[in-house]
Amino acid sequence: MRKHFSSCGEIIEVDISKSSAELAIDGEDAQGKVMELDGSDMGGANYLLSNVGRIIVKGYDAKLPHDDVESALRKVFSSCGEINDIFICETEYRLYSDAIIYFIGEGAAEKALQLSGSDVGGWKPIVTPYPFPETAGRSLIVCVTGYDNSLSKIKIERALRQHFSSCGRLRDFDISKKFASAEFGIVGEDAQDKVMELDGSDMGGREIHVKVTSGAVTAVHTRRYRSIPNRRACKVQRC
C-alpha cells in the first residue's frame, strides 16, 4: 500500500483492518493524485503478525537530511525482507542517532541483525533487536461496532462472547448504547490475528467492524497515528 500510493506524497499514517485501510498523505495536490489511483490494481497482501519484526539501527550520519538517511537504510536492509516503515525522530536541527525499521516477512529482522558492523559503503550500521512486548498481539483491548444496538446490553455481550469465543479469554465488557459500540479485553495465543479475521464478519445479520485499540503488534511506528502535521495532508479511506 505504501508503495502504491508513494507517488502521491509522504505517507504519514496507515491504519489497516481486514476490510479497510486509512492513509494520511501529505503532499502537493495529494488529493488529485490519490483520486487518479481510484480503481487501480494494487494486488493483495496478507501477513501474519508473527512475521512482523523491528530493529533499531545506529551508525548513520545524523546530520544528513531525513530522506537521504531513509534512502540509505532502505538500500542496506531491503534484501532482508519487505520494509514497511522506517521511523527516525528529528529535532529542528538534526536527526536522532537511531532509527526504527519495521519489516514484514519471516525471519526478516533476524537477517537484518546479521548486517550489524558490516561496511555498507562508507558507514557501518549498528543493529540491535527491538522485539515487541511478550503480550503484544496476545493481550488486547478491542472495539466492536455494527451490531444490532437495539438489543439489551446482556444480549449484546452474550452475542459477542459467542462470536469471539475462538479468539481467547474474553473479559471486562464495556457496552455503550449511546455510541453503539462495545469494548472488551481478549487474552489468547494469536489473539490479534484471530480477532482481525472477524472484522467484517456477520453477527446476527449485521456486519461488524473490529478495531484493536490497545496491545496490538503494529507494522508501523505508533507515532504515525498522531495528528496530521499540516493543511496539505490528504486522508484517504478504502472500504
Cβ proximity of 11 and 23 under 8 Å: yes
The reply to whether 91 falls in a domain is yes
Number of domains into which the chain is organized: 3
The beta strand positions in the chain, using DSSP E, are 10-16, 21-26, 52-58, 82-90, 95-104, 126-129, 139-145, 169-176, 181-187, 202-203, 206-207, 209-214, 233-238
Q: Residues 68-95: pLDDT tens digits?
A: 999 999 999 999 999 989 999 888 888 9
- Residues spanned by the domain of 119: 49-132
Confidence of residue 9 (pLDDT cuts 50, 70, 90): confident
In the predicted model, what is the mean pLDDT of residues 178-194?
Answer: 95
Q: Are both 112 and 174 inside the same structural domain?
A: no
* Eight-state DSSP code of residue 51: G
Confidence of residue 108 (pLDDT cuts 50, 70, 90): very high
Say which CATH number the domain at 207 has: 3.30.70.330
Give me the residue label for grid cell 472495539: 143
Q: Are both 101 and 150 inside the same structural domain?
A: no
Q: Are both 53 and 127 inside the same structural domain?
A: yes
Give me the residue label for grid cell 481510484: 38
Percent of the chain whose predicted confidence (pLDDT) is above 90: 57
Confidence of residue 16 (pLDDT cuts 50, 70, 90): low
Closest C-alpha to 130, from 14, 221, 31: 221
Q: Are both 98 and 110 inside the same structural domain?
A: yes
The reply to whether 219 falls in a domain is no
User: Does pLDDT of 39 surpass 70?
Assistant: no
Residue with the bigger pLDDT between 65 and 91: it is 65
Q: Residues 135-179: pLDDT tens digits?
A: 888 999 999 999 999 999 999 999 999 999 999 999 999 999 999
The reply to whether 220 falls in a domain is no
Residue with the bigger pLDDT between 114 and 18: it is 114
Out of 126-135, 190-199, 220-229, least confident range = 220-229
Q: Are both 40 and 83 inside the same structural domain?
A: no
Confidence of residue 18 (pLDDT cuts 50, 70, 90): very low
Q: Are both 191 and 234 inside the same structural domain?
A: no
